[in-house]
Structure 1
Amino acid sequence: MVVEMIKGKERPMIFLTAPPEIKQTACLRFRVPRNLPYRDAPPYKSSIYYWWWAFLKRDQNYADTCASRGRGQSAKLYKDFGNVFKSDFLTWWRCHQGLFAEQSAAEDHKIPCDTESRIWYQIDPKRPFNQIHEEIRALHLQAHAIMPKKRASPSSTAQYPVYANVSAHTLHRVLAIWDLRSVNPEASAYELGVLAGYKANLIPTSVFGETRTRRALDAQLHNKRVRVSIANKANRYLRTAAQYIKNVGRGEFPKAQNR
């Protein structure tokens, strides 16, 4: 189990989303085996935190700040995330995972100030877990019935909470098309889609060079639709990638509001 030191005491680190090294957490909370973003991918790439790190490396302002040893437009974020180019992901993660862990709610002998909207429940660790669970559930239901309605507070208490639930498979495809654009700046959206492996079910043209027969016209129309569909998909991923990269440089990921 992953732990952190709080006031000289070890307390478990809790993540709302599966961390890269799932064996170090309570495995019952997360699916095992994990859904890989692509065939034979390392298991840690199933974690959204890997993709946070990967997209941050594509932010040019952050890259410039890393190259300048923390000086630049992303200096504030750099103080937390450090140089993401200095080591591999898992090495970086083991030093920075606390950025994404939930803050501990267990504070010794400290009663919450906002007593009107909170219930103070003291846990006796010697009692059976199922009994504690049932009591907390009953208190929660009772609180919803008697307390005034208020806007729900954010579900995560992490310093950098995950903005949205996006699959590793989708994040992989979005980043792949972005990287292909970087390597092939002159390629069309359709060509990028083909390079990314999007299947183009094109109908072969006639070996006799026919262009005006019904069959030839149908094939041309079908192939045009296929090319447009692949180009649209590639462009959508490129727009999403641009927003992910822009917002990850602001400490929010994965955030894309317009696709």
Structure 2
Amino acid sequence: MLTIGELARRAGTTVRAVRHYHATGLLAEPPRDHSGYRRYGAHALVRLIRIRRLRDVGLPLERVRELLDEPGSLDEALAALDAELADRQRDIAERRRRLAELRRRPTDPELPPGFAEVFGRLAALGVDQDHLRQEKETLLLALAIDEQVGAALLDWYRQVADGPMLAVSAELGRRMVELARRHPDDPEVRRLGADFADFVHDQLGEEIDQVRAENRAGDDAPPGVETALLTDWISGLNPSQRRVLAITGELLSARLPGSADIWRDLNHLMSDLLP
């Protein structure tokens, strides 16, 4: 009769595996003998060898249990496993294709494909990296709050990257980053808030306003969710940047009726966050 170590060695596996099969009920655990050892016989050895070989093929434990306890078609089990592996292989091939594309044309995998390409172009055109990082976080939040504005935002980013507004957008971003070193009462804060309001209204306001108005009736999000998310994000900005957003929200609430609720919420929550 065999000890657990001898059993594992003869079956070509490990003591740890044998104990795992005990724990899962796949291999019966014999009682201890008078000396306190568990002894395994021929039936246990044969069953363990079968378990190990079926596992080596790649069959999951539950399928191994079925084949051992309720003998069925091994061909069917192997065919099912082969189909599963083929699916995994296709998935791996697709992931490798995407990785190769990322390595060939470096883009940010944290962004949706279209936005990733545009942000990559903006970086290549020399837009400030701190501004792009903050812009990315703002974009991800905007898409999570209302994915319906995604198409309009993507079109706008493409227009910025391809047109004369790139310099304006980059300069606004640079000024926003620079405000981290300024006092909230600095005159530049109000100027930048007004400039942001003009920029958003002139370049993107009509699209956002229209999409927001069309989808507002079917919005099933609990009241206050958008405001809570905006509050949480804005709380991570410095006081001067928060004041810029408050000014921007105040000005846009009167200029974009379809989405005025967002800008009003922004303005109200900014009042609570400002010192």
Q: TM-score, normalised by structure 2?
A: 0.22
Which structure is higher in RCO with an 8 Å CA cutoff and minimum separation 6? 1
Question: Which structure carries more helix by proportion?
Answer: 2
Q: Which structure is larger by alpha-carbon Rg, 1 or 2?
A: 2
Q: TM-score, normalised by structure 1?
A: 0.23
